[in-house]
Structure 1
Amino acid sequence: MKIRRFYGKDMREALKQVKDELGDDAVIMSNKKLSDGVEIVAAYDKEPVHAPKRQQAPTTPEPKRRVDATPTLSEIIGDSGPDSLRALLEKQIQAKESAVQANSNVQPSPIAPQRTTTQSEARQPQARTVNEPQQDALNEMRQELASLRNVLQFQVAGLIQQDKGRNHPLHGYLTSKLQSMGISQALANEVVSYTPADTDERQAWLFLLKLLANRIQTEESNLLTKGGVAVLMGPTGTGKTTTVAKLAAQAAQKYGAENVGLITLDSYRIAAYEQISTYARIIGCSVKKAQNAEELSDLLFQFRNKRLILIDTAGFGQRDVRLIKQLETLKQSTTANINSYLVMQANSQYQVMQQTIAAYKQISLQGCIFTKIDECYSLGEAISAAIEHKLPVSFITDGQKVPEDLKVADAKFLITSAAKLYKKHVLIHTSDNSLNNAAVAV
């Protein structure tokens, strides 16, 4: 097969030249548009029987680019090379076949090459079903590796803890003792690290209790002393309304009932207003109900001459969406400086207290009030939450009597009560009743 180039001013003239020179058996390989015409590359196998001489149109000038035209295939290859395109293709095929034979003689590697999946094969459902068992096996292996990693981490943590216990047996014993009292692990490890080295177990225990007492923050001037506007918030069932009544009764005894005002925002609970109005009638102070931020601002303006204004709120859990609406109502009431206090049960779980403080910290908290101290078997959880969040403890309540069962918070009293509860419900319980519990279990 030989190749020739033809030039014309348009495609019709160039095709006519190809037909005149090479005949009807010529094959058009390519065409290209030039600045002064068209170039066609044609191929032919045999010379035509009557090959007329190439005639150029008199009107068509010789293209300037023919001097610098791209050389033909025969010119590139040279006289020594093959003079047809078919020979070149056969040579390339022979080279590929020889390369394949050389690769087949090499010993194959133990890992088989990955087969390339074509697009048509990927669409077939059979290919997916073949890979599904492999994917399931890989997922199972990943799960087993993750489980082994968790077990190893647990074992390493235990070995580290045992190593600490061997190196510092007193520290390990004191940390375990504080955790049994309800103190969180992070806080227990922190305070134990300050224990003096040259001390016995009793002195170290007293040192830790004093250190915890120093870490508890209390209000220097409580709301009964400084007065103003105070709002009590917290989850449902923490005793907010009863605590408001206790505070109002003590303030009425100290400053007079006419200097105390009560406001309730609880419009969700049945008979909530009737309950607080009953307390107000017994105490002799005024009570009002607010539905929104505007009504709360109006009532605060009406009670502006009162020495102490206590606001009772509805109880919402930390995940209740209505809590956000209540907090926004308190934020919008800018007519007075409102001090916010969080009311929490002292017998709640540590994680519940953590989540509760985090939810109510959207507004600035002045302090917290721990209720139901008399129902606790452990006080370490409440102490840990207050210390870790640096939340001052304002009051504690230890009963239902109004107004007797309300005390100003004292750090020493809280730590002493926590130590007594630990001694009463942990040490004595485990030592005296271990045999009885074992017998009952059997």
Structure 2
Amino acid sequence: MKIRRFFGKDMREALSQVKAELGSEAVIMSNRKVADGIELVAAYDKEPEGQFAVKKPVQQAAAKPAQQKTTPSLSEIIGDDGPDSLKALLEKQHGGNKPQAKGYEDAPRPVGGNPQHANDIASHLDFSDAFIDDVEEQQTANEFPAHQAAGIEDVPQVPSAELSQIKEELASLRNVLQHQVADLMEAKQRRQQPVHHYLIQRLTDMGLSPALASQLISYTPSHYNERDAWVYLLNLLANRINTTGNDILSEQGAVALVGPTGTGKTTTVAKLAARYAQKYGADSVAMITIDTYRIAAFEQLATYGKIIGCTVRKAQSSEELADLLFQLRHKRLVLIDTAGFSQRDSRLIKQIQQFDNGQMQSVKKYLVAQANTQYPALQRIIEAYDGIELSGCIFTKLDECYSLGEVLSAAVEYQLPVSYVTDGQKVPEDIKVAEAKSLVSAAAKLYKKYGLNHTSTNNVIRTARAV
């Protein structure tokens, strides 16, 4: 007996190969599922008829006695004479015992190479079309859960550190792609509207935020040349800035100046008090400090009070502040100097809450910020005072600035009115009422003086020293 192996993508193809190569007298020894399909092991006692021998006449095949066929031929196997289902076939093989059918891999196989046993097995196998379909469906249904469970068990669990690293790499790739897409869009806009791109670059160099610069450019007529468009943008920016005028010095009530450390709140309070005393008299104005953290804060304000000739008081709690405001209710203007805290300091919130405890008269709050502050810092400062109602802002230290676009962007984007600007330490000379056109003109002059390429100082750095 000779044994050969055949491979096919399914059972029909494998059986067709057996029949074509070995003929109808071949015996199927075993079958199993492999990676590429089905593997059949077939045996034959003589040379195959399908490819190597001449077919016998039909008369000789018909003349053979039927009783001599102990092993069914492949034609009978493929025919419709066998059992109609796998269950009936296996019951016939094991004498009615119900087996566990699990597909081709669990089918009976020859043991010890006994040909007679293989012939007995082959005699009970029915490879008709219905049988092949039943076996394939049952094998798929039985093997899929096992495959799925094996897949779940075999997949290694990725550590959380590696997952975090993968997430970081994906985020980095996303940022790179977004940057590249933004560059492509910018290059496209630069080709289509070169004047607008040039003006956006000038506005951002002047200190304006990219969002505000793009917004202003969108309103610029496309037929303007570079000079006319630049003048148009400056006028448009001036129209966007809201100012309050000389409201503090022309009205009555209580005004508190709030802001972070080092912005010049105490000096600004003294300047406003001196201006008010010049207009209405020293008896019409008073100053109160609640800055109990800075050394000699009260003494500094008291010195200004002696020079101006106005009343100066100190409050260490909200109750004392309410009492002092009641005592000084006959004054036309009461200026309150607050302690300076970082926008990240929790004491800032406690100090702000003193003005809204319901025990005192209404107090207007004005934010004091340095004009040379970075734009992100200005954003955080304004957001820190988001819980209170700000009547306006005062920009200080304009004489120390190299750019004014940052404070103008913050005032426009947060819709914060600008009341006053200061540009020196002199009391009361170095304080002015804010005007939108004057601020924009000053910003343009600073950009022309320090921001342009031909006016900025470019220091040559040696490569070796830089390394």
TM-score normalised over the length of structure 2: 0.68
- Counterpart-to-counterpart distance in 1, 2:260 and 2:312: 22
Residue from 417, 431, 436 that aligns with 2:454: 431
Is 1:404 the equivalent of 2:429?
A: yes
Residue from 205, 208, 221 that aligns with 1:180: 205
Q: Contact 2:245–2:433 (CA<8 Å) still a contact in 1? A: no
Identity among equivalent pairs (%): 54
The residue identity in structure 2 corresponding to 1:280 is G
CA distance 1:94–1:323, change in 2 (3 Å): closer
Determine the structure 2 residue equivalent to 1:113.
Answer: 147
Specify every segment of 5 or more residues in structure 2 that has no aligned partner in the other structure, as ranges: 1-93, 108-134
Determine the structure 2 residue equivalent to 1:349.
Answer: 374
Determine the structure 1 residue equivalent to 2:37.
Answer: none
- How far residue 301 of structure 1 moved from its aligned partner, in angstroms, is 1.0
- Counterpart-to-counterpart distance in 2, 1:223 and 1:432: 39
- How far residue 142 of structure 1 moved from its aligned partner, in angstroms, is 4.4
How many residue pairs match? The answer is: 342
* CA deviation vs aligned residue, 1:92-146 (integer Å, no higher than 9, x gap): 3354587833679989x9xx9344499xxx9xxxx9xx93568776665544333
Matches within 5 A, 1:316-355: 316-355=341-380
* CA deviation vs aligned residue, 1:43-73 (integer Å, no higher than 9, x gap): xxxxxxxxxxxxxxxxxxxxxxxxxxxxxxx
Residue from 296, 303, 307 that aligns with 2:332: 307
CA RMSD for the aligned pairs? 3.0
- Counterpart-to-counterpart distance in 2, 1:265 and 1:386: 27
* CA deviation vs aligned residue, 1:384-421 (integer Å, no higher than 9, x gap): 00011111100000000111000011111100000000
CA distance 1:352–1:439, change in 2 (3 Å): closer
SS of the residue aligned with 1:431?
coil
Is 1:285 the equivalent of 2:347?
A: no
Determine the structure 1 residue equivalent to 2:74.
Answer: none
SS of the residue aligned with 1:309?
strand
Residue from 377, 385, 395 that aligns with 1:370: 395
Q: Contact 1:296–1:333 (CA<8 Å) still a contact in 2? A: no
Q: Contact 1:369–1:396 (CA<8 Å) still a contact in 2? A: yes
Residue from 210, 218, 223 that aligns with 2:243: 218
Q: Contact 2:246–2:433 (CA<8 Å) still a contact in 1? A: no
The residue identity in structure 1 corresponding to 2:98 is Q
- How far residue 149 of structure 1 moved from its aligned partner, in angstroms, is 2.0
* CA deviation vs aligned residue, 1:139-197 (integer Å, no higher than 9, x gap): 65544333222211110011011111111111111111000000001100000111111
- Counterpart-to-counterpart distance in 2, 1:160 and 1:96: 60
- Counterpart-to-counterpart distance in 1, 2:292 and 2:384: 21
- How far residue 227 of structure 1 moved from its aligned partner, in angstroms, is 2.5
Specify every segment of 5 or more residues in structure 1 that has no aligned partner in the other structure, as ranges: 1-87
Q: Contact 2:103–2:136 (CA<8 Å) still a contact in 1? A: no
- Counterpart-to-counterpart distance in 2, 1:305 and 1:385: 37
Determine the structure 2 residue equivalent to 1:170.
Answer: 195
Q: Contact 2:103–2:139 (CA<8 Å) still a contact in 1? A: no
* CA deviation vs aligned residue, 1:302-348 (integer Å, no higher than 9, x gap): 11111111000000111110011111111115532211100000000
Q: Contact 1:294–1:333 (CA<8 Å) still a contact in 2? A: no
TM-score normalised over the length of structure 1: 0.71
Determine the structure 2 residue equivalent to 1:417.
Answer: 442
